Structure 1
Amino acid sequence: MKNLTRTLLTSLILITELLVHAQQSPLMQRTASAAADKIYDTKQWSFDSYAPIRATPLASGNSVYFGNARGIFFALDKKTGSLKWKYETGHAIHSSAIEANGKIIFTDNAQTLYALNASDGKLIWKLSFGKKLTYLWRFDYYYSSPIVYEDRILVGGDDGFLHCVGLNSGKEIWKFAAGGVIRTTVSIDNGIAYFGDTNGKLYSIDAKSGTKKWSFSTMGDTLKSSDYGFDRNAILSSPVVYQSFIIFGSRDGYLYCIDKEGKLKWTSNHNFSWVISTVAVVDNIVVTGTSDGHFVQAVDLTSGKELWRYKGSTLFWSSPLVMNGKIYIGGYDGQLYCLDLKSGKRISQFESGATMLSSPVFNDGLVYVGSDDGKVYALKGRDEKEITPSENLQKFAFYEPGVNVYYKNGSDVMVKSYLANFNYKILGEDSLNAMLNRSEAKNSVLVFATDYFPNSIISDRENSLLRKYLDNGGKVILTGMNPIVYKIGGEAKSPYAFNVPAADTVLGLKYGENDTRSFGGIIPSFPTESGKEFGLADYWVSMLFIAQDKVDKVLGKSENGEVSAFIKNYKNGGRLIQIFIDPDKPSNLDSILKLSDAALN
């Protein structure tokens, strides 16, 4: 009996060690498997922590864990986003957490390593590291995240040491002195730990003893940052070990691939643009983002040859997530981009309310990501067939300065700029008329970034330029209240009389009488399930409602059940899509892109 008990205990210990050994920072979880026909760009829920979230969320068990810049660490229900518990450290938390043996482990900006009880958030132990080293070049928004190796925690510090700490005791076992601050998260392969520092060196050390094996010097190691006016030394990209390769980026403007002996295999030159992303590697394709170069890049694993690059209009510091042939990566513009792995072409995007430095992770059917708007988002998948952009789609946006119909204080310029960044051609009144006169309209979409119809496109009733465009198969997206219901004029280009019947004669939209009865008051409205799939706001307030039998698809209804947002079909596949963007602070602009992409389906 004693032998049986001893055998069982030994087996349990071995199983526990294997489970602990497998624990990896969510930052390093850059690949996943999900339903191949789904694109994860639709909000399931969001939770507001009221301070920027830059670390990568940890999804484990039934919970999501993350910290914010205010120094509060949260545990949420993974499916609903409801708060389970929170713990306050008082200092910014920009390291990603890890779970092991019922403990949640993370560091904060005060150089303290914490272990909390995963179920209730109670402190188990904490350990303070040494005095911070001076690091003048900053712009370092991420902190080294702990990883668990066997029964130990490895994490880098501001003090220039890689720390090895007992998982259960919270006591330091050893520490290794690097040349600079350690911001990278450790990768372990066959008992060897790899990490970089802010002086431009990548280290290889024995994970059990802390003994140095070798170090690799980047080109940044020889550069003097003050000669350039910005940092050209630091390695902030965490190394990824894949097969016999170690891949990482540097602020010297290069993506590096070395072997496990520290010998250089290849580099990819980003021309001074920082490479901060931790790469994702799948099917011998290496994917990374870059800083001032404003692109996402894929290179061949063995040669370093560039396969493609997606040229955006923003910084990409977030680390990419690759699953089922799609890439998800956050941009400085607050978008979570979805790109095709093989071609780099944009498939879709999700818009948060501020810069997105957090990196996405996938777990149990949802993608989780944080944002500087203080929210963590859980995104669900939707059918890829509904939203795959057509390569032949011609995209236009009409903008007219000085109009005072719907948008306030010129806020429509934000809509225009957003669309321009996604390659919509911006039209004025003259070019708008020429565009609407085209005989072939089926493969085009026109967004009214300014909520205004020039008289030249709506005169002549059902024979107007606007109606002909719709009947020829064109797609129109209105981002505010349908301007046709007003007579607009004067230097201020503002409404001076009702013109409700014109909506019927020009567009076939029967709102009602030519007075306030058609407007119904300023009423809250909410998206339908279809509206949610296209990324419409959680709610909006608007006037002007229409009966459901007058439109073909309902995207949003008022609190009284009247239709606010909708799609109306015309001849030859033409469509008019009515949505409402916030007139004060335009947001949810990704809904315009999603509706544009879906307009041909």
Structure 2
Amino acid sequence: MPILVYLNYNPFMKKYFTVIALLGSFTVLAQKNAPLTNKSFAANAQHNGVYTTMNYSAFGGVKWKFTTKGKIFSSPLIAGSKAYIGSEDHNLYAIDLQSGKQVWKFATNGAVSSSPAIYGNSICFGSYDGYYYMLNANTGKLNWKFKTGGERKVGAKGLWTMKPLNKYMDDLYDFFLSSPVFNDDINNPTVYFGSSDGKFYALDAGTGKLRWSFKTNGIIHSSPAVYHGKVYFGSWDTYLYALNAADGKLVWKFKTADQPVYHLLEGIQASPTCGNGKVYFGARDGYFYALNAEKGTQVWKYSANNSWILTTAAVQNNTVYFGTSDTYQFVAADAHTGKPKFVYKGNGYLYSSPALSANTAFFGDFTGKLFAVNLLSGKATDVFIVPGRKLNAANVLKDDTLNFAHAAGGADNSLYQTGIDVMNKLYTLGSVVSSPVIDNGVIYFGSADGSLYAINLIK
């Protein structure tokens, strides 16, 4: 068996190490300065959503299922021989890719709804306990942790005029914390993320020491994208920001639509995607935007008919793909003009960001379905149904489709408690809010049923 010897650079120790790999009948291309190959919902710092040029179009059998004790909104990270995922049970898990068995878990004091990111041999994620953590990816041992000003959900008294008007209410659709993203500067490895304290942070990835921070006027749950020396992110103050990635100086900011009282707390929850010299993102004002990445000027915007857009877009072949909330639509739009190429309608809210495999997009919906949609025809080629949906769809859905009033069963829709009750009922379907990741012919995604699924794919 041939032997490959190459140098691997550790960006935190700033040293090269000799690595010996045994190769079979395939070729491995090792880049001297590249971080550990990984795949996550943000497959790279630009969030382009493209995972493979291999065209998988259908689902095979379940390879394995790993179950936690809390709902999973975090999206998986696949790196080396492990999958990493956060859970509302306060833990981050490392799972063996072949067996689906736990390798280690790391406990925090809050729900882990941020998606992990890896650089070198270290993994970073955030928790509702107010800390962002950096762990050894192999052992789960703590390297460092950084305390923010506190993490919380967006909320307000009498949110959206719900009753009782004097009661503080968490936004039931604020699922995620900001997920960290690394730059690719081997001399100054930096990790970026936003916080509920309204600040955007840049830390030394090796030590966890603060490099700089930038204050906005709203909670930041959007995950950043790094592109051409700038870092982009959205805030609940309705602005998308572009900062100099090196020093955090403001380059420009773009304001989405002003919100009437009824649409209180509808800033930018989605994470931006960069490509083609543009930055793409959706907002809760009902529009999807394309901006000039250098100047921050609007190139085009797409109306989602007052529907929120929470997903991170995928960009491929001059087409941008994203999902909508209340209209349940998966949209393929021309990346240069915003003109729609096709629209596919799911069965419920689309909060799961698309993962692309050549001519197929994979994404989940709130009713517990994972779709495979052909990008040439705009039609579904297959659907995977989470077990909870099979058990509970007849009692929860109307005509196999999410209908809030039907799920409420006649309860007063103006009451905040009704919203809580309906959401808990919908969660029994195994809602897919987690964004899928494709690696080596397997698709991985989390579910509100508390499980991480590994499903074989078919070409």
What TM-score does the superposition give when structure 2 sets the normalisation length? 0.76
1:382 is aligned to 458
Q: CA RMSD in A?
A: 2.2
Pick the aligned partner of 1:87 from 90, 101, 106. Answer: 106
The answer on 1:323 being equivalent to 2:361 is no
What are the residue-to-residue correspondences of 1:406-425 with 2, within 5 Å? none
- Provide the aligned length of Structure 1 versus Structure 2: 369
Equivalent in 273, 280, 295 of residue 240 of structure 1: 273
Name the SS of the counterpart of 2:34 in structure 1: helix
What's the counterpart of residue 258 of structure 1? 291
The aligned counterpart of 2:311 is 277
Give yes or no for the alignment of 1:293 onto 2:327.
yes
The alpha-carbon deviation at position 256 of structure 1 amounts to 0.5
Does the Cα contact within 8 Å between 2:38 and 2:77 map onto a contact in 1? no
Which letter does structure 1 place at the counterpart of 2:144? W
Can you give the 5+ residue segments of structure 2 that lack an aligned partner in the other structure?
1-12, 18-29, 157-170, 389-429
Change (3 A) 1:24 1:214: farther
CA distance in 2, matches of 1:283, 1:246: 16
State the structure with more CA Rg: 1
Give the match's secondary structure for 1:19.
Answer: coil
How far does the alpha carbon of each residue in 1:140-197 deviate from its partner, in whole angstroms, 9 at most, with x for none? 1011101111311111001001111111111111111112111111111111001110
**2:221 equivalent in structure 1:** 183
| Counterparts in 2 of 1:41 and 1:22: CA distance versus 1, 3 Å | closer
Distance 1:331 1:157 in 2: 26
Query: Which of 342, 348, 357 is the equivalent residue of 2:382?
Result: 348
What is the CA distance between 1:299 and its match in structure 2? 0.8
How do 1:520-531 residues align onto structure 2 when only pairs under 5 Å count?
none
Shift of 1:121: 0.8
Equivalent residue in structure 1 for 2:242, among 204, 222, 244: 204
Larger strand percent = 2
What secondary structure, in the 3-state scheme, does the structure 1 residue paired with 2:154 have? coil
Q: 1:227 aligns with which of 262, 287, 291?
A: 262
- Contact kept, 8 Å, 2:346 with 2:365, in 1: the verdict is no
For 1:246, what is the secondary structure of its paired residue? strand
Q: CA deviation at 1:38?
A: 4.7
Distance in 1 of aligned mates of 2:62 and 2:358: 20
Greater relative contact order structure (CA < 8 Å, 6+ sep): 2
In the alignment, the residues of structure 2 paired with residue 270 and residue 30 of structure 1 have an alpha-carbon distance, to the nearest angstrom, of 21
Contact preservation (8 Å) 1:25, 1:145: no
Which has a greater percent of helix?
A: 1
Q: Is the 8 A contact 1:116 1:123 kept in 2?
A: yes
Name stretches of at least 5 consecutive residues in structure 1 with no aligned partner: 1-8, 384-601
* Matched residue, 2:397: none
- Tell me which amino acid in the other structure corresponds to 1:240: T
Partner of 1:114: 133
Q: Is the 8 A contact 1:41 1:348 kept in 2?
A: no
Q: Is the 8 A contact 1:45 1:379 kept in 2?
A: yes
Matched residue, 1:193:
231
8 A Cα contact 2:282 2:289, kept in partner: yes
Q: 1:25 to 1:311 in 2, by over 3 A?
A: closer
C-alpha displacement at 1:381, in angstroms? 1.6
1:57-68 maps to which residues of 2 (within 5 A)? 57-68=76-87
TM-score by length of 1: 0.59
Amino acid at match of 1:223: Q
Residue number among 312, 326, 347 corresponding to 1:313 in the alignment: 347
1:45 maps to which of 54, 64, 69? 64
Give the percent of matched residue pairs that are identical in Structure 1 and Structure 2.
30
Measured at CA, do residues 58 and 134 of structure 1 come closer, stay the same or move farther in structure 2, by a change above 3 Å? Answer: closer
Counterpart of 1:168 (choices 206, 217, 220) is 206
**Are 2:309 and 2:324, in contact at CA under 8 Å, matched by a contact in 1?**
yes
**What is the CA deviation profile of residues 524-569 of structure 1, one whole-angstrom value per residue up to 9, with x for unaligned ones?**
xxxxxxxxxxxxxxxxxxxxxxxxxxxxxxxxxxxxxxxxxxxxxx
Rounded Cα–Cα distance in structure 2 between residues aligned with 1:120 and 1:213: 39
1:339 aligns with 2:373: yes
The corresponding residue for 2:437 is 361
Secondary structure in structure 1 of the residue aligned to 2:65: strand
3-state DSSP class of the match of 1:332?
coil
Residue 203 of structure 1 and its aligned partner are, at CA, apart by 0.4
Q: Aligned letter for 1:148?
A: F
User: Does the C-alpha gap of structure 1 residues 141 and 367 become closer, same or farther in structure 2, counting only changes over 3 Å?
Assistant: same
Distance 1:253 1:325 in 2: 27
